[in-house]
C-alpha cells in the first residue's frame, strides 16, 4: 500500500488551500482547484517523502472524483422540479429554448469548423450550452440582484438548461456507450437511454406517495445510509442500460425531487457534494499537462468568444420577449455566461467513452476562462451596457416589473 494514504491526505490538503484562496478572493473554487490539479500530477517533482505526482493514489483519487460527479448531479436532480417546470410561464420556456438552441448550434458549427469529429463536436456543443448553476447563483447573491426584474427569467432559463442537460446526457450515453454502428443500433441505443430517462420522470410524477412511505425513517443516520446506498446502486446498474452513472445519479435525484423528503435529502447531501465535488475538479486537473495547454489555446478562446456573444444575444432576445428593458436583458446574458461543473461533466462522459483526448485540454481552458470571466462580466454589466448603448442607442424607459408567464 506504500504511502497511499499520505498521498491522498496531501491531495486533500492542497484542495483545502485552493478552496481557502478562492474564498479569500471571492471567486468560484472550480478554476482554483483545476489549476492546482494541473500544477501537480505525473509531471510534478517529488520532494523527499512528499510525492506530488500522485501516481500511486491516482486511481483512488479518480474514484473519489467519480463519486463527486454522482453527488453533483444527484443534487442537481433533487433541486430540479418537474412540476415547477410544467407550471413555468411561456416566457421562461421560450427564453430557455432560445438560450440552449443558440449556444448549441453555434457550438456545433464552431466544433466542425475547427475540424473535430462528429461525436466530439456534439460534446463540445453540449459543453457550451450548459451554464454553471453554482456560479450563477453565487453571482446573483453577491451582486444583490435576487430582487431584480430579470432574476425570475434567469432562474427559469437555468431550470430549462438543467432539463436540456438531462436529455442531452441521456442521448449521448446511449450513443457513446451503446451499439450505434448501424441505424438500427443507433435507434436502439438512444431509445434505451430515453426510455430509462422517461422511467424516472414517471417515477417523479407518480411515485412520491410510495417513496414517502419507504423513506419515513426517523433516524437521520439510517436515512442517509439508505439514500446514498440507493444512489450508488442505481448509478452502478445504469451501465447495463448504456446509461452513464452520472446521468443515472441526476435522474435518481429527479425521482426524489417531488417527495416530501426532498428538502431533507438536499440539506444532508450538500457536504458530500462539496467535498467529493472538489476532489472531482482536482482529479480532472491531474489529467492535464499544463505544457500542452497552448496546443488548444486559440481554439478554446474562440469558443469563449462565441459563448459570450451567444449568451448576450440569447439574453437580449429572451428579455425583449418578456418585456424587460435592454439593460435588464443584457444582465441576463452576462449573468448566465459562466461555465463550470456541468461543462466538465459533459466532456468527461466523452473522454470516458474514448473520444479525442484533446477535448480535455480544450474544455479545461474554456471552463477556466469563463468560470473566472463570467462573474466579472456580470459585475461589469452596467459599464458594458453603457458602451453598447452608445452604439445601438437603446431607449431607457423606467423598468416595469412585468410578471413573467
pLDDT digits (tens, 9 = 90+) for 195-208: 888 888 888 888 99
Q: In terms of pLDDT, which residue wins out, 244 or 16?
A: 16
* pLDDT of 101 higher than 90: yes
Q: Please check whether residue 401 lies inside any domain of the structure.
A: no
pLDDT of residue 105: 97
Residue 303, domain member (yes or no): yes
Confidence band for 179, pLDDT divided at 50, 70 and 90? low
pLDDT value at residue 89: 67
Burial 238-250 (b: 16+ CB within 10 A, else e): beebbbbbbbbbb
CA dist 329 and 395 (Å) reads 13
CATH number at residue 34: 1.20.1530.20
Instruction: Place 6 in a pLDDT band, splitting at 50, 70 and 90.
Output: confident
Q: Please report, for residues 130, 141, 172, 173, 203, the alpha-carbon distance to residue 193 in angstroms, rounded to integers and kept in the order given.
A: 20, 36, 9, 7, 16
For residue 332, what are the CA distances in angstroms to 60, 95, 372? 40, 10, 17
How large is the average pLDDT for residues 316-338?
93
Residue 274 lies in a domain: yes
More confident call, 260 vs 192: 260
What span, in angstroms and rounded, lies between the C-alpha atoms of 265 and 279?
Answer: 21
Query: Which string of b and e fits 6-37 if b means at least 16 CB within 10 Å?
Result: ebbebbbebbeebbeebeeeebbbbbbbbbbb
Least Cα distance to 350 among 164, 75, 118, 29 occurs for 118
Per-residue confidence band for 53, with pLDDT thresholds at 50, 70 and 90: confident
The answer on pLDDT for 159 being more than 90 is no
pLDDT digits (tens, 9 = 90+) for 352-362: 889 999 999 99
What is residue 52's predicted lDDT score, i.e. its pLDDT?
A: 83
Res 118 pLDDT > 60: yes
pLDDT above 70 covers a percentage of the chain that reads 91
If residue 101 lies in a helix (H) or strand (E), which one and from where to where?
helix 90-113
Domain count, the chain: 1
Mean pLDDT over each residue of the chain, to the nearest integer: 88
Tell me if 138 sits within 8 A of 341, measured CB to CB: no
Whole-number percent of the chain with pLDDT over 90:
55
pLDDT for position 394: 84
The reported pLDDT for the residue numbered 233 is 94
Using CA atoms of 327, 332, 335, 341 in order, give the dihedral in degrees to the nearest 10: -170
Dihedral-angle region of residue 394 (phi above 0 means left; psi in -120 to 50 means alpha; beta otherwise): beta
Helices (H), 207-325: 208-214, 220-237, 245-256, 262-286, 297-321
Q: Read off the pLDDT band of 28 (50, 70, 90).
A: confident
Rounded CA separation 366/368 (Å): 6
DSSP label at residue 257: T
The confidence score (pLDDT) of residue 275 equals: 95
Q: What is the pTM of this model?
A: 0.86
Q: Is residue 151 part of a domain?
A: yes
400 occurs within a structural domain: no
| 402 assigned to some structural domain | no
- The predicted model gives 317-329 an average pLDDT of 92
Residue 405 lies in a domain: no
Query: Would you place residue 262 in the very low, low, confident or very high pLDDT band (cuts 50, 70, 90)?
Result: very high
pLDDT at res. 238: 83
Residues 310-324, mean pLDDT to the nearest whole number: 94
Report, as an integer, the average pLDDT of 210-229. Answer: 95
CA distance 109 to 88: 31
Residue 90 belongs to what domain range?
4-392
pLDDT score for 42: 81
Q: What is the pLDDT of residue 396?
A: 54
Confidence of residue 402 (pLDDT cuts 50, 70, 90): low
Rounded Cα–Cα distance for residues 360 and 340 (Å)? 13
Give the pLDDT confidence of 31-41 residue by residue, as tens digits.
Answer: 999 999 988 88
Please check whether residue 404 lies inside any domain of the structure. no
| Confidence at residue 195, expressed as pLDDT on a 0 to 100 scale | 82
Q: Write the pLDDT tens digit of every residue in 377-392.
A: 999 999 999 999 999 8
Average pLDDT of span 131-143: 89
Amino acid at each position: 500500500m506504500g504511502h497511499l494514504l499520505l498521498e491522498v491526505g496531501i491531495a486533500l490538503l492542497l484542495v483545502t488551500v485552493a478552496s481557502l484562496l478562492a474564498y479569500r478572493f471571492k471567486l468560484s473554487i472550480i478554476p482554483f482547484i483545476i489549476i492546482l490539479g494541473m500544477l501537480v500530477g505525473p509531471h510534478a517533482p517529488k520532494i523527499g517523502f512528499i510525492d506530488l505526482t500522485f501516481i500511486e493514489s491516482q486511481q483512488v483519487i479518480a474514484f473519489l472524483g467519480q463519486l463527486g460527479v454522482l453527488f453533483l448531479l444527484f443534487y442537481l436532480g433533487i433541486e430540479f422540479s418537474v412540476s415547477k417546470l410544467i407550471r413555468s410561464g411561456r416566457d421562461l420556456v421560450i427564453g430557455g429554448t432560445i438560450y440552449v438552441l443558440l449556444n448549441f448550434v453555434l457550438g456545433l458549427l464552431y466544433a466542425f469548423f475547427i475540424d473535430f469529429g462528429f461525436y466530439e463536436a456534439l460534446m463540445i456543443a453540449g459543453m457550451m450550452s450548459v451554464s454553471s448553476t453554482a456560479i450563477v447563483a453565487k453571482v446573483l447573491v453577491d451582486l444583490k440582484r435576487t430582487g431584480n426584474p430579470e432574476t425570475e427569467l434567469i432562474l427559469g432559463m437555468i431550470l430549462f438548461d438543467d432539463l436540456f442537460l438531462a436529455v442531452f446526457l441521456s442521448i449521448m450515453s446511449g450513443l457513446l456507450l451503446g451499439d450505434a454502428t448501424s441505424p438500427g443500433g443507433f435507434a436502439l441505443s438512444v431509445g434505451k437511454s430515453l426510455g430509462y430517462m422517461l422511467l424516472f420522470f414517471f417515477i417523479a410524477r407518480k411515485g412520491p406517495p410510495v417513496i414517502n412511505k419507504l423513506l419515513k425513517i426517523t433516524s437521520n443516520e439510517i436515512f442517509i445510509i439508505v439514500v446514498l446506498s440507493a444512489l450508488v446502486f442505481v448509478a452502478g446498474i445504469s451501465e447495463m442500460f448504456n446509461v452513464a452513472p452520472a446521468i443515472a445519479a441526476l435522474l435518481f435525484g429527479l425521482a426524489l425531487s417531488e417527495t416530501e423528503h426532498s428538502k431533507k435529502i438536499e440539506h444532508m447531501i450538500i457536504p458530500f457534494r462539496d467535498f467529493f465535488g472538489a476532489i472531482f475538479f482536482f482529479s480532472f486537473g491531474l489529467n492535464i499537462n499544463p505544457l500542452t495547454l497552448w496546443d488548444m489555446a486559440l481554439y478554446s478562446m474562440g469558443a469563449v468568444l462565441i459563448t459570450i456573444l451567444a449568451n448576450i444575444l440569447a439574453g437580449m432576445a429572451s428579455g425583449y420577449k418578456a418585456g424587460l428593458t435592454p439593460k435588464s436583458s443584457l444582465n441576463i446574458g452576462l449573468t448566465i455566461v459562466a461555465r463550470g461543473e456541468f461543462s466538465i461533466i459533459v466532456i468527461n462522459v466523452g473522454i470516458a467513452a474514448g473520444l479525442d483526448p484533446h477535448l480535455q485540454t480544450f474544455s479545461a481552458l474554456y471552463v477556466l476562462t469563463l468560470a473566472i470571466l463570467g462573474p466579472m462580466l456580470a459585475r461589469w454589466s452596467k459599464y458594458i451596457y453603457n458602451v453598447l448603448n452608445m452604439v445601438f442607442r437603446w431607449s431607457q424607459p423606467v423598468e416595469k416589473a412585468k410578471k413573467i408567464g
